[in-house]
Structure 1
Amino acid sequence: MEKKLISIIGMPMDLGQGRRGVDMGPSAIRYAAAQDELIRLGHDVEDLGNLPVPSPESSIIENQNLKYLKEVAEACEQLAETVSQVVERGRFPLVFGGDHSIAIGTIAGVAKHYKNLGVIWYDAHGDLNTEETSPSGNIHGMSLAASLGVGHPSLVQCGGYAPKVRPENIVLIGTRELDPGEKELIRQLGIRVFTMHEIDRLGMARVMDEAIHIVSKDTDGVHLSLDLDGLDPKDCPGVGTPVPGGISYRESHLAMEILAEANILTSAEFVEVNPILDQANQTAKVAVALMGSAFGKKIL
């Protein structure tokens, strides 16, 4: 794999979901030696530190259907600007979360530099809800919808433009829990979803081959948004919204290894590591291990 110029950005966001502790995710991933692992693989790595995010205690929920909207939107704007600056410097933005609402900012910062961005959404959930369809009002379940141009203007217009991605350039992998409104939007937009049924039936190798074909067709960049709850809770207990029956540790490594061989990634984020809910930093260690595979680490 060609050596990359990687810039790590920590985004300690915990306003987009309902369980505290995910703001410590970036520190947990760093503690699991993410930077050392990437340097061992020969990459040039800098850590830009964490961006400031207000705490829930200093904020007020003004709309129960869009919790902490103002704070999430402002933090994502700052992340978008930081990510954009990294891309302008010719470096690979690697964002550590934080809850999955941060993808609104990451994708906004990346997509402005590509005419047609592909997105791999590795997640148990679709994150395709809106204010009208979300059962919880948590914005981490709206981030992909916002990137598609669907949702509240404060989220949709992050970075000053919309949409960031087209539905035909997106694949969801590992999906196993969708709300009714998300299912409707998937059908309406024709988004390709590889649920656990497809992974079980086809095998991860074929799923990744098809996914790579979709996200790299007529695109000029590919973003990986990996939520650790995409994996089974037995392998990743430290997540806020665990869903049983997920992708295995080894299947996930295979997925990342196939991505590394394809050499199509231009940006990535690893999100929803919650050390408060974890066991001996296991989930952060898995995140770092998968990072290693995505950036070229091989068994032999």
Structure 2
Amino acid sequence: MTITLVPYHLDERLPDSSFPLPAAGFIPVTRELPEGDVWARLGALYELVSAEVADQVAGGTRPTVVSGDCLVSTAVLAGVQRAGVDASVVWFDGHGDIHSLESSTSGYIGGMPLRQIIGDHPELLTGPLGLRPLPEERAVLVDARDLDPAEAEFLATSKIRRCPVDDVVLPDGPLVLHIDLDVIDKGDLPGLRFPVGGGPSRDAVLASYRRVMATGRVAALDLACPWHLPEGDDTAIRTRLLAEILDEIQGA
């Protein structure tokens, strides 16, 4: 098993120690980011991620990408498509990640990736990456419960399917499985940047993840670890969680 580590939260370089991964077996993707706005900087970084994913898929390997945010998912899907695989998206997240530039009141671009994957503002990121917009009905949003009003309004008329972790309805064909670990209830996973309560337990999320993996249809896994730098007991909790997820991949 090879893990592609993208040690960033958006364009902020994080120390590798933020990601308690095995000492060997991962490939870090980093680069000196160019001058310019955040979209140009991320586009330069994500081109490397997309190329790495495409090479792995073309070589018969299922990529596993670990990063500090959800926006990297655009590069993962673009790489899978570049390798000739027409994948749908299953999106585990405590948030909707379905904002547009116009709807976001905070301007936080980490809350926009799913909206961009289905075609919003392609000139910013997905277009330069060569990502073909995903039809809404081929996206499944799992246990997103912390929605801003504009997100809830959009989803009310969208064809994106929504479901809880205990009853994930999968689209046909290959899948890109995106798991933002903040889908886990904040009581079970401390230290998150954007914690959400009222959600599924760690064990429930792991069980749901295993059911999706057991289909044999996951073309790539994108794992977002949006937490602060590990300190004290939090590190042990995160290490155990990542080990369980990655051990499952290794055995699949």
Shorter-chain-normalised TM-score: which range? Answer: 0.7 to 0.9
| Structure 1 residue corresponding to 2:244, chosen from 277, 289, 299 | 289
Distance 1:157 1:246 in 2: 34
Describe how 1:94-105 pairs up with structure 2 within 5 A.
Answer: 94-105=64-75
Q: How far 1:28 sits from its partner (Å)?
A: 4.0
1:50 is matched by which residue type in structure 2? V
Pick closer, same or farther for the CA change 1:232–1:263 going to 2, 3 Å. same
Pick closer, same or farther for the CA change 1:85–1:156 going to 2, 3 Å. same
Pick closer, same or farther for the CA change 1:91–1:294 going to 2, 3 Å. closer
TM-score normalised over the length of structure 1: 0.74
Q: Is the 8 A contact 1:228 1:283 kept in 2?
A: no
| Structure 2 residue corresponding to 1:246, chosen from 185, 199, 202 | 199
Q: How far 1:73 sits from its partner (Å)?
A: 2.4
Pick closer, same or farther for the CA change 1:288–1:151 going to 2, 3 Å. farther
1:256 is matched by which residue type in structure 2? Y
Pick closer, same or farther for the CA change 1:71–1:182 going to 2, 3 Å. same
SS in 1 for 2:196: coil
Aligned to 1:33: 22
Q: Which ranges of structure 1 fall in alignment gaps of 5 or more residues?
A: 1-5, 36-45, 63-67
Distance 1:70 1:100 in 2: 17
Asked if 1:156 corresponds to 2:126, the answer is yes
How far does the alpha carbon of each residue in 1:66-117 deviate from its partner, in whole angstroms, 9 at most, with x for none?
Answer: xx22212222222112211221222111101021111111111112334531
Distance 1:11 1:28 in 2: 11
How far does the alpha carbon of each residue in 1:127-153 deviate from its partner, in whole angstroms, 9 at most, with x for none?
Answer: 111111112222211111111111351
Pick closer, same or farther for the CA change 1:52–1:130 going to 2, 3 Å. same
Q: How far 1:291 sits from its partner (Å)?
A: 3.2
Q: Which ranges of structure 2 fall in alignment gaps of 5 or more residues?
A: none
Asked if 1:23 corresponds to 2:2, the answer is no
SS in 2 for 1:250: helix
| Structure 1 residue corresponding to 2:95, chosen from 125, 132, 154 | 125
Q: How far 1:8 sits from its partner (Å)?
A: 1.4
2:31 is matched by which residue type in structure 1? P
Distance 2:128 2:240 in 1: 31
Distance 1:288 1:122 in 2: 18
TM-score normalised over the length of structure 2: 0.87
Aligned to 1:142: 112
SS in 2 for 1:95: strand
Q: Is the 8 A contact 2:5 2:28 kept in 1?
A: yes
Q: Is the 8 A contact 2:91 2:179 kept in 1?
A: yes
Pick closer, same or farther for the CA change 1:32–1:7 going to 2, 3 Å. closer
| Structure 1 residue corresponding to 2:4, chosen from 3, 6, 9 | 9
Aligned to 2:30: 51
Aligned to 1:174: 143
Aligned residues: 250
Pick closer, same or farther for the CA change 1:274–1:161 going to 2, 3 Å. closer
